[in-house]
Structure formats: C-alpha cells, structure tokens
Amino acid sequence: MPRGFVRMMVWMAAAALLPGCATGISKEVRSQVTYEGGFAELQQNPERFKGQTVIFGGKVIASEMLAQGPELVVLQLELDGGDRPQDNDQSKGRFLIHSKQFIDPAIYPQGTLVTVVGTLEESQERLIGQMAYRYPVINALEIKRWPPPTDNSPRFHFGIGVGTVF
C-alpha cells in the first residue's frame, strides 16, 4: 500500500475517534466541583455535604414543571472519562435536579442521559411506590443532555446466489 494512503487512513481514524473523547461539561464549571466522593456516600448522608458542588449523571426517569421551577428525577449512573453516564444497570440510587433555567420536559423525556454539575442543596423524602426514599437535590449550574448512542460497528453483508428485488 502506498505510504500516503496509510497515513490518510490513520488521520481519518483519529478524527473519527476525537469527538468521543470530548467532555460534556465545560471546563469552567467542571473546575468548580468540590465533592469527589461517590454517590452512595452522598446518598447516605446528603445533609453532611450540603453546599458542595457535585457532578453526577444518569438517566431521566421523569421531568416536569413544578410551581417552584423545573425538576428532573434521575436514576444515577456512573460517568465515563468524558463525563457521559454509562447506560447500564449499575445504579446507586436516584437524585433530583432543580434549575433556575427553563428545562423543557419535551427535550428531557424519560430515558434521556444527562450529566449535571450543581450545588447539593438538600434532600427530599418521597415515595417510590409505597417505600419512603430520600432524594439528594442538586441545584444545577450546568446540565449536559447526551444524544442517544449510535451503533458505529462495521456492517458486513456476504451473499451468494441470485436474488430479485420487487
């Protein structure tokens, strides 16, 4: 193979992978994070960490407009190196996102992956079915809505024979 062709293929591969390495949260806001612990520790005693700036992500369970402003109910998921929630069944709990900015429920429907940086304000006890559950409440500084993942796996088709298409 010509050397120029190989070099061009390497550059194309690098360019295709580069967007996947980008972080979802701005550097300015990311630098404000003061809480470095895990979600489980925060979940057990949210009042202890009140006022800390946190970064968490997950999958939207519900979004609605309340009298005091918009609210997202989020199932916590671990973040990858680019701050994107890992869409799997490994969750440590749930949390609420409140915002002073308008969050349209149509843009954040159930199943949307989000990452939030915000201040831990309080916790609220609510029911999940008939079980009491304590939700940490995060007052958002920045919310990143992630696009649905795309399947970039190679596509192959191999066939032998004669076929017709109508």
Q: Where are the domains of the chain?
A: 24-146
CATH architecture of 24-146: Beta Barrel (2.40)
pLDDT computed for residue 68 by the predictor: 87
pLDDT at 155: 57
pLDDT computed for residue 11 by the predictor: 42
CA–CA separation, 21 and 153 (whole Å): 17
101: number of Cβ within 10 Å: 10
Using only the alpha carbons of the chain, give its radius of gyration.
21
Sequence-separated (6 or more) residues with CB below 8 Å from residue 58 = 74, 75, 76, 77, 85, 91, 94, 95, 113, 114
pLDDT tens by residue, the chain, 166 residues: 555 544 544 444 444 444 444 558 999 999 999 998 999 999 888 899 999 999 999 999 999 999 889 999 999 999 999 999 999 989 999 999 999 999 999 999 999 999 999 999 989 999 999 999 999 999 999 999 999 877 665 655 555 656 555 5
Q: What pLDDT score does 2 carry?
A: 57
Output the pLDDT for position 8.
43
Q: Are 66 and 82 in contact (CB under 8 A)?
A: no
85 contacts 78 by C-beta, under 8 angstroms: yes
Q: Please tell me whether the overall predicted TM-score, pTM, comes out greater than 0.85 for this model.
A: no
Is residue 107 within 8 Å of residue 83, measured between CB atoms?
A: no
Q: How far apart are CA 97 and CA 118, in angstroms?
A: 8
Compute the distance between CA of residue 4 and CA of residue 40 in angstroms, rounded to an integer: 52
166 vs 71, 163, CA distance in Å? 51, 10
Does residue 138 contact residue 98 with C-beta atoms inside 8 Å?
Answer: yes
